[in-house]
Amino acid sequence: MSNSNTSAGEINWEELESNKTGFGAGYQDERQQELADLYEETLTAFAENELVTGTIVGVTDREAIVNIGHKSDGLVSLSEFRDLPELKAGDQVTVYVEKQEDANGQILLSRRKAMALQAWKKIEQSHQGDEVIEGVIKRRTKGGLIADIFGIEAFLPGSQIDVKPIRDFDIYVDKKMELKVVKINYANDNVVVSHKILIEKDLEKQRLQILDNLERGQVLEGVVKNITNFGAFVDLGGVDGLLHITDISWGRISHPNEILELDQKLNVVVLDFDEDKKRISLGMKQLQEHPWDSLEATLEVGTKVNGRIVNVADYGAFLEIKPGVEGLIHVSEMSWSQHLRNPQEFLSINDTVDAVILTIDREERKMSLGIKQLTEDPWTKEEVKTKYASGQRHTGTVRNLTNYGLFLELEEGIDGLVHISDLSWTRKFKHPSEFIKVGEQLEVQVLELDTEQRRLALSHKHMEENPWDTFETIFTPNSVHKGTLVNRNDKGANIELPYGVQGFSSTKHLTIEETGKTAEVGNSLDFKVVEFSKDEQRIILSHVATYRSGKEETPAPTKKAKAPKGEASQETTSKSKDMKKSKDLQTTSSLGDNSALSQLKDNMKDGDAK
């Protein structure tokens, strides 16, 4: 019951206070519970790690206040709304519930995680549905590009950018590009996309159309896609063809990049087509007239031409007088020399030289050329007969070695043969390489000249006096000399004697008395002269004969006219003295050096005079 003193419209607080424990108390509790239940129904049910839609209810300098229907609002940093610079109260946003309440009883929300989760769902859907999505190239990276798709960074490999090789990745940065998701790696949160796969689908239609209409002889326009050592691959608009290096130009080239460059547009003709393997052979030079067909009629035998050496082979060199027109210069036409040499000694690739046409066949498109014809044949010169007459001495260069001798070049075009037997008076060689090497200089004397046959016989040993005239007085039969075994075979051994001369001893005459064994190479022993032949330049020796007497070991010396006792005794004594004086004059042969022999002869002359 209200107080009479209380005016209408005023609340009687005393009465309300008294009713807390009175009749109205139960009603109030029920009402409060009802209101609480109604309030709970107004709240949105959600769980952690879930995407929800919220409303911006306020924006501060640092944060945005988001109401997601919970009893408390969430705070999200403005840095997560950089893509929404016009953010204001009332805007709807999707956020990610990280935690329902923190220590302060506040809900934790994230828009960045919400966007990432949404992006991954879209990426999965596009991958499963094979959908085309649009991305923005953000930057270049190792091996490709980084593309932004739905806010997620994806890797675009360089090989998946285009069907043709890409040399400059920077031109794609900050540009939009249609892509397809080709791989998702959830463990590393990695996405791989491709733009090439979209191009290939479009090109496949063009490829099938090109292949259906392809014919030999058809002229097509293409783009140089790749260049290799053996040719270039040309993109014909979805299908590639090979332009071989030999079909690029009528002229000879060493590499396709001398004429072609990447991305170059050009016309080509279909030379061949393998339908099974889908291989297309292309040609470019076939679109031009063959150079031989337009060759000047004035070019004939005897005409002097100029060109560039494009190839050097063992048998000669090819001279290109104009692109596509070549002639062979055989090695025999490079020099008047009778002895053939390596063409690389005369010419090198890219040399510019003059030549004379020797033969020309326009139908077969062949031409032979000569260089030596530009100079006079040295064998036809008059001075050759006097310059290289018998007995004349010259110095030449060793050009070639054979089993029977060596060829010596005295001047350009003039070669002579030095037989192996004319290398030394005292030494015998199995091969000239034991005496001299190719390229070295050698002094010789002319033995014989035949200008008609272009032959010149030379000798090196005739640069010195024949020592066998003197040897005849030294290595007399039964005389004993110190010798060294220089080589040995089954038949016997060659013995190095004083003054560089060699003799021969059979195996049975090499037995050493003390050991009973056969002497070996390097042993120095005494040897008795069994036979001496000046004409054949041969000395037969025996070591056994030095310690064993007998007719078999020591044959009787050749009979000579008897001299008076006094003279014979005096001559023998004189020669014995000379031999003793010349013991220290022993030497080995060195290109005809017989200074020791000359001194010996002088000593002998002095002895005879005495």
* pLDDT on residue 125: 83
Q: What is the pLDDT of residues 529-574, one digit of tens each?
A: 999 988 888 899 999 999 886 444 444 444 433 333 333 333 333 3
Q: Is residue 228 part of a domain?
A: yes
Q: What is the pLDDT of residues 489-522, one digit of tens each?
A: 989 999 999 888 889 999 999 999 888 899 999 9
> In terms of domains, do 605 and 476 share one?
yes
> In terms of domains, do 282 and 316 share one?
no
* pLDDT on residue 418: 94
Among the listed residues 512, 462, 510, 463, the one whose alpha carbon sits nearest the alpha carbon of residue 490: 510
Q: What is the pLDDT of residues 459-487, one digit of tens each?
A: 998 888 878 888 888 899 999 999 999 99
> In terms of domains, do 481 and 512 share one?
yes
- Residue 54, pLDDT > 70, answer yes
Amino acid occupying residue 337? S
Q: Is residue 600 part of a domain?
A: yes
β-bridge partners, 455: 450
Q: Which of 463, 491, 526 is the last residue of a domain?
A: 463
- Residue 318, pLDDT > 60, answer yes
Mean pLDDT to the nearest integer, 46-56: 72
Q: Is residue 264 part of a domain?
A: yes
* pLDDT on residue 87: 80
> In terms of domains, do 450 and 406 share one?
yes
Q: Which of 265, 287, 309 is the last residue of a domain?
A: 287
Out of 117-121, 225-229, 572-576, the most confident range is 225-229
> In terms of domains, do 254 and 219 share one?
yes
pTM over 0.85: no
> Is the separation of the CB atoms in 530 and 542 below 8 Å?
yes
CB atoms closer than 10 angstroms to residue 63 = 16
> In terms of domains, do 440 and 486 share one?
no
> Is the separation of the CB atoms in 272 and 216 below 8 Å?
yes
Q: Is residue 541 part of a domain?
A: yes
> In terms of domains, do 597 and 518 share one?
yes
Residue 553 belongs to domain with CATH number: 2.40.50.140
CA distance 423 to 592: 8
Strands, E assignment, 469-560: 480-488, 492-496, 502-506, 524-533, 538-542
User: Looking at the 3D structure of the chain, how many domains does it have?
Assistant: 5
> In terms of domains, do 347 and 246 share one?
no
Q: Is residue 199 part of a domain?
A: no
Domain region containing 446: 378-463
> In terms of domains, do 488 and 583 share one?
yes
* pLDDT on residue 197: 82
* pLDDT on residue 104: 65
Mean pLDDT to the nearest integer, 444-463: 90
> In terms of domains, do 590 and 474 share one?
yes
> Is the separation of the CB atoms in 135 and 151 below 8 Å?
no
> In terms of domains, do 430 and 493 share one?
no
Among the listed residues 269, 596, 294, 333, the one whose alpha carbon sits nearest the alpha carbon of residue 464: 596
Q: Is residue 345 part of a domain?
A: yes
Q: Which of 240, 269, 287 is the last residue of a domain?
A: 287
> In terms of domains, do 343 and 398 share one?
no
Q: Is residue 23 part of a domain?
A: no
- Under the banding of pLDDT at 50, 70 and 90, the label for residue 113 is confident
Mean pLDDT to the nearest integer, 237-265: 87
Q: Is residue 2 part of a domain?
A: no
Residue 34, CA atoms < 13 Å, CB-side half-sphere: 6
* pLDDT on residue 209: 74
